[in-house]
Amino acid sequence: MCPKNKRNNRRTLLLFVLCPFFALTIFSFIFFKNEKAEEHLLEIKTPDEAIADLKNGNLRFLENKSVHLNYAHEIDLTKKEQHPHTLVLTCIDSRVPPEIIFDQGIGNLFVARVAGNIEDDNILGSMEFATTIKHTKLIVVLGHNHCGAVQGAIDNVGLEHLTQLTSQIKPSINPHKTYPLSDYTIDDTSRKNVVLTIEKIIKKSATLEHQLKNKEIKIIGAYYDITNGKVAFLENNVVLK
Ligand SMILES: [Zn+2]
């Protein structure tokens, strides 16, 4: 046998040995990818698991160890359906992006945003859709410090549509506030605004109130510090530092 034929035979043998290995690798990749997609969709089953997931996500974010960064992969995982475990109602403030500060990526959160994180009928309808149709387990009302909408309410700012928006925040202003206003006053108002918003949500939506009483969902408050990235969760109407 000439050397050329020997080389060809070796190549054929090598291909014969390696082909099953490559096939197995490709099959495993597809299989485990699909399995991971299933886990991604189904891993959060209770409101408390959703809270824990958000807390862990904020810790990863603070430690610069976020894992939900492969957006192309997450688009692929969620292209056929979505099952977000939590709906976050928060402010439009550009420094408060829920998907990033909770390290949730694409497909894990419904997010409703309005200046001052207040409720209205459209927000309530979105929440009822999330919890009833998509079986979302948790609603978080997320306030934050240095909130321009809260500042506007305190300063009595009025504009065409802004006036009615800030009027919804005004009941949270402490009538015994002292002048000049401090950051504490704005902070205090923002925290109370979260609590009052939760109370209004429960009072106005019989659907959500029913799901809450049946322990199908939880509605909790949280407060984001834009100066350090930390989220403090409100439990029993007391903000935990
Ligand atoms: Zn704000």
For residue 182, being part of any structural domain is answered with: yes
Distance in angstroms (rounded) separating the CA atoms of residues 114 and 104: 20
For residue 135, being part of any structural domain is answered with: yes
pLDDT score for 38:
45
For residue 91, being part of any structural domain is answered with: yes
pLDDT score for 239:
44
Strand residue runs (E) in the chain: 86-90, 109-113, 138-144, 218-224, 231-235, 238-239
For residue 32, being part of any structural domain is answered with: no
pLDDT score for 175:
76
For the stretch 44-103, pLDDT in tens is 999 999 999 999 999 999 999 999 999 999 999 999 999 999 999 999 999 999 999 999
For the stretch 158-203, pLDDT in tens is 899 999 999 999 999 987 766 556 667 889 999 999 999 999 999 9
Percent of the chain scoring above 70 in pLDDT: 77
Does 155 belong to an annotated binding site? no
Q: Quick one: pLDDT band at residue 43, thresholds 50, 70, 90?
A: confident
- Count of domains observed in the chain: 1
pLDDT score for 140:
98
CATH code for position 85: 3.40.1050.10
Residue 91 Cα to ligand 1 middle (Å): 5
Does 19 belong to an annotated binding site? no
For residue 19, being part of any structural domain is answered with: no
For residue 7, being part of any structural domain is answered with: no
Q: Considering the chain, what is the average pLDDT of its residues?
A: 86
Among 51, 85, 84, 159, residue whose Cα is nearest residue 115: 159
Residue 48 Cα to ligand 1 middle (Å): 26
Average pLDDT over residues 113-141: 98
Q: Is residue 112's pLDDT more than 80?
A: yes
**What are the residues whose beta carbon lies below 5 Å from ligand 1 (ion)?**
91, 93, 147, 149
pLDDT score for 240:
40
For residue 2, being part of any structural domain is answered with: no
For residue 129, being part of any structural domain is answered with: yes
The 10 Å CB-count burial string (b at 16+, else e) for 222-238 is bbbeeeeeebebbeeee
Average pLDDT over residues 208-231: 97
pLDDT score for 184:
73
Range of the domain at 46: 42-233
Non-local CB neighbours of 215 within 8 Å, separated by 6+ positions: 47
Q: Is residue 13's pLDDT more than 60?
A: no
Does 2 belong to an annotated binding site? no
Point out the least confidently predicted range of 68-72, 131-135, 154-158. 154-158
Contact assessment for residue 198 and residue 118, using Cβ atoms and an 8 Å cutoff: no
pLDDT score for 174:
82
